[in-house]
Amino acid sequence: MALRDILVVPDPILKRVSEPVDGVDDDLRALMDDMLETMYAAPGIGLAAVQVGVPKRVIVMDLAKPDEEAQPRYYVNPEITWASEELAPYEEGCLSVPEIYEEVDRPAKVKLRYLDYHGKAVEEEAEGLFAVCIQHEMDHLQGVLFIDHLSRLKREQAVKKVKKQKAA
């Protein structure tokens, strides 16, 4: 396993739409292992492959609380098959937009399907933090950042702040 660099705004790769993968093999599992190690080191709770410069439809996540044992999850070619009309606000942050936190409204519940770490097809329902996180990470696969859900002014301020931090 290896730590990878996490891209930050305004890196143009973050705006690319990720490509589906043909299947889960050892190379893809190695990428997911690297992504998980990178996410834990950051630290974060979710990471899309495009955030480490690999525009493939792959996500890793771990929503375990700090005092709980790790619960790594892997999502290959994830799709949302249903989303509730009810929205839920949640203050989001992003490893690609460091130190910026803003409230975003997203569907409160979603159903999704994906391939797991072993290539097995999975369908499940998500709500709460899980629903927020999977939608946030799936946005990355479409080249969308959480700040794209904000007003133009807030988005521009966030990018300016990140650039300033990077230059310091």
* Active-site annotation, residues: 137
Alpha-carbon dihedral of residues 159, 140, 103, 10, nearest 10 degrees?
A: 0
Phi, psi dihedrals of residue 62, rounded to the nearest 5°: -150, 110
84 Cβ contact partners less than 8 Å away, ≥ 6 residues apart: 107, 108, 109, 110
DSSP letter, residue 132 = H
In this structure, the chain runs to a length of 168
Alpha carbon 43 to chain centroid, angstroms: 13
* 3 state DSSP class of 98: strand
